[in-house]
Amino acid sequence: MAVTYELIAKQNKARAGIITTPHGNIETPVFMPVGTQSTVKAMTYDQVRACGTEISLANTYHLFLRPGADLIAKAGGLHKWTNFEKPFLTDSGGFQIFSQMRINKCKISDSGAEFIDTVTGQKHFMSPEDSILTQNKLGADIIMAFDHCPQGNATHEEAREAMLRTHAWAERCVQAHARAEDQALFLIVQGGIYEDLRKQSAEFISGLNVPGFAIGGVSVGESREDIDRIVEFTTPLLPENKPRYLMGIGTKEDIVKAIAAGIDMFDCVMPTRIARHGGFFDFNGERMQIKNQKYTEDFSPLVEGCPCYTCVNHSRAYVRHLWKVHEITAGTLLSIHNLTYLINLAKEIRGNIISGTFDPVKYLNT
């Protein structure tokens, strides 16, 4: 069964749609939790499901190194391996590999990228074909092309070089993909902060016949203004009848602006990462800190009216106590709340788009 997309409502540039996959439907816009090592950190997949999750990510880079894609294939693929039978998306591994540029541990050529396993120090090589083969073995419903993501401060020439390589690799990824009947390959637009390059990249990538598209190389160190400008500029250049995924963004502000620009899918490690450091979102998406002394005798939930397991069952005082005595459950409870917040934010906006009442300014001003 192929992965398909249906656009069901539009308000200005914002879209509501449904992605159909072999493991169920995804209503978009959607926030996707990141399960780096085939688990969302500090959570069981039962807990992830209970947050209203419709799709989970897993990271090819990490699973390629440990335990290896062959073992997961032997287990029956990611869905059986994790017992999460909803849709999965795997990234290509490229982002993690190229982030080693910062520590000068990654060598890129047109054939692929050499990198080190930062745990063992061992050298590895990954080509576009290797990434796709690995993702074919992992078996996610949506897989991503191996792209060259330049750093946020890349010059025009550096961004152009990375874009051209991304285009050449995109064609190789399409060629190498051996499971097109049940895995959707999404291709990625690059081009840094430069509108001429983003336009060129969107045109090239859109010309390749795949089930979905992504905007990569955003929020990699460039300014807030550049992020907004590039997302607003690039998104409408992508085909209307295919899903659009903005990779690696996830604050409330990012999500609202991206949806308003016409994005359908986002992911970010931020909500669960800040949870493991005691951070939680208030009703307004502002980041609060559970260890704050003012919560010592505060028996109200993290957010009044929040439907998540944590808020229904526990108080700020209780979660703060767990945090203060280093109980790992504190990170779990805060992760449940933060994921639920962002998943529900996307769902609420979806409802607003369908009823024609989505007002981005209202979300950004409150």
Enumerate binding residues for Zn ion (CB under 5 A). Answer: 306, 308, 310-311, 337
Of residues 42 and 202, the one with the C-beta less far from Zn ion:
42
Q: Kindly tell me which of 49 and 80 has the beta carbon lying closer to Zn ion.
A: 49
CB–CB of 128/185 below 8 Å? no
**How many Å apart are CA 146 and CA 278, to the nearest integer?**
34
Q: Catalytic: which of 46, 91, 110, 117?
A: 91
Q: Cα-flanking dihedrals φ and ψ of residue 289, to 5°? A: -125, 120
Q: Which of 147, 267, 298, 359 is catalytic?
A: 267
Q: Please return the burial class of 76, using the count of CB atoms within 10 Å of its CB with bins 0-12, 13-18 and 19+.
A: exposed
Which residue, 14 or 333, has its beta carbon nearer to Zn ion?
333
267 catalytic per annotation: yes
226 labelled catalytic: no
**Measured from the CB of residue 314, what is the shortest distance to Zn ion in angstroms?**
9
- Whole-number Å distance between alpha carbons of 141 and 84: 12
H or E element that contains 277? none
Mark residue 305 as left, alpha or beta (left: phi above 0; alpha: psi -120 to 50; beta: remaining). left
Of 119 and 312, the one with the shorter C-beta distance to Zn ion is 312
Helix, strand, coil percentages in the chain from 3-state DSSP, rounded to 5: 45, 20, 40
Nearer to Zn ion, 165 or 337 (CB): 337
Shortest distance, position 275 Cβ to Zn ion, whole Å: 11
CB of 313 to Zn ion, least distance (A): 10
User: Which residues fall within 8 angstroms of residue 293, CB to CB, at 6 or more apart?
Assistant: none
Burial class of residue 276 (count of CB atoms within 10 Å of its CB; 0-12, 13-18, 19+): middle
**Least distance (Å) between residue 26 CB and Zn ion:** 22
Rounded least distance, CB 311 to Zn ion, Å: 3
**Which is nearer to Zn ion, 162 or 288 (by Cβ)?**
288
Minimum CB separation of residue 264 from Zn ion in Å reads 25
DSSP category for residue 325: T
Residue labelled with tokens 């989970």:
56
| Residue 250: C-alpha distances to residues 68, 82, 152, 163, 215 (Å) | 28, 24, 17, 24, 14
**Which residue type does 293 have?**
Q
| Beta pairing, strands 212-215 & 34-35 | unpaired
Could you give the residue numbers annotated as active site?
A: 91, 267
